[in-house]
Amino acid sequence: MIIAIDGPAASGKGTLGKRLAHHYGYRHLDTGVIYRAVAKAMLDAGADLTDETRAVAAALELDPEKFGDPVLKTQRVGDAASVVSAIAEVRRVLVNFQRQFAADPPGAVLDGRDIGTVICPDADVKIFVLADPKVRARRRTLEAKARGEDADEAEVLADILKRDERDRNRAASPLKPAADAYLLDNSQLDIEGGVRAAIEIVEAVRAGRQPV
Ligand code: C5P
């Protein structure tokens, strides 16, 4: 089974993806990390983030062994990721890696922006996670502080809104729910509540019922 989870920045889709994968014994791919890794390579090289040739070269040279680097999680790299990910050719060279990951047994959960629409349009279950931007900013600020980073909630909110705007309005694979995705608004839910709601959706779809 393939489960596609999409949603805007800081919506909690990554944690949800990881927890769902654990619950079902599937592998998990946080696809944001891929774009973040391309962005980090560009930043490290001092390259212009809109330089297509260099960004494509960086995407072709990605080393999945380095996807755990904590620097990838920073806001600076996330911002840069939303610029390089708008380059259609960068997205194109990363499609096969993601599809292969999804296809390998026993099943997979992928989270990102275009999993249900472009990468795995035939996913068995598609969930689109939403949350109020203010709630997302609060959560992201608390997470950054817990990591010992300095974070200002108003700045984090501005960054989230800017990133939403860029991700939704780009020509290449814009952020939007697939027509057959189930919406999950977790503004009022904690992590456990979100996980329970997602499992209910998966179970309903598996049983051929309409999720409530
Ligand atoms: O999800 P995360 O915040 O880690 O993603 C970082 C950036 O990478 C996003 O703002 C988005 O522009 C891009 N991204 C994407 N497609 C994906 C995953 C992430 O364009 N499947």
Ligand 1 pocket, residue 163 CB under 6 Å? yes
Q: How many Å lie between the centroid of ligand 1 and the Cα of residue 35?
A: 6
Give a yes or no: residue 211 inside a domain: no
Name the more confident of 8 and 211: 8
> How far apart (Å, rounded) are the C-alpha atoms in residues 70 and 143?
13
Per-residue pLDDT band for 206 (boundaries 50, 70, 90) equals very high
Q: How many Å lie between the centroid of ligand 1 and the Cα of residue 188?
A: 23
Decide the pairing of beta strands 27-30 and 125-130: unpaired
For residue 3, pLDDT beyond 90: yes
Give a yes or no: residue 176 inside a domain: yes
Give a yes or no: residue 210 inside a domain: no
Write out the two tokens for 13: 């889709």
31-51 confidence digits (pLDDT tens): 999 999 999 999 999 999 999
CATH of the domain at 58: 3.40.50.300
Question: Which of 18, 31, 156 to mutate to test ligand 1, by most ligand atoms within 8 A of the CB atom?
Answer: 31
Per-residue pLDDT band for 19 (boundaries 50, 70, 90) equals very high
Least Cα distance to 130 among 150, 113, 147, 144 occurs for 113
> pTM value?
0.95
Give a yes or no: residue 212 inside a domain: no
104-157 confidence digits (pLDDT tens): 999 999 999 999 999 999 999 999 999 999 999 999 999 889 988 889 999 999
Domain of residue 170, residue span: 2-204
Looking at the 3D structure of the chain, how many domains does it have?
A: 1
Give a yes or no: residue 123 inside a domain: yes
Q: What percent of the chain has pLDDT over 70?
A: 100
Give a yes or no: residue 44 inside a domain: yes
Give a yes or no: residue 209 inside a domain: no
68-88 confidence digits (pLDDT tens): 999 998 889 999 999 999 999
Q: What percent of the chain has pLDDT over 90?
A: 92
Write down the mean pLDDT value for the chain.
96
Check residue 212 and give its pLDDT: 77
* 43, burial (CB in 10 Å: exposed 0-12, middle 13-18, buried 19+): middle
Give a yes or no: residue 151 inside a domain: yes
CA-based angle 14:19:21, to the nearest 5? Answer: 95
Question: Which of 28, 30, 73, 82 to mutate to test ligand 1, by most ligand atoms within 8 A of the CB atom?
Answer: 82
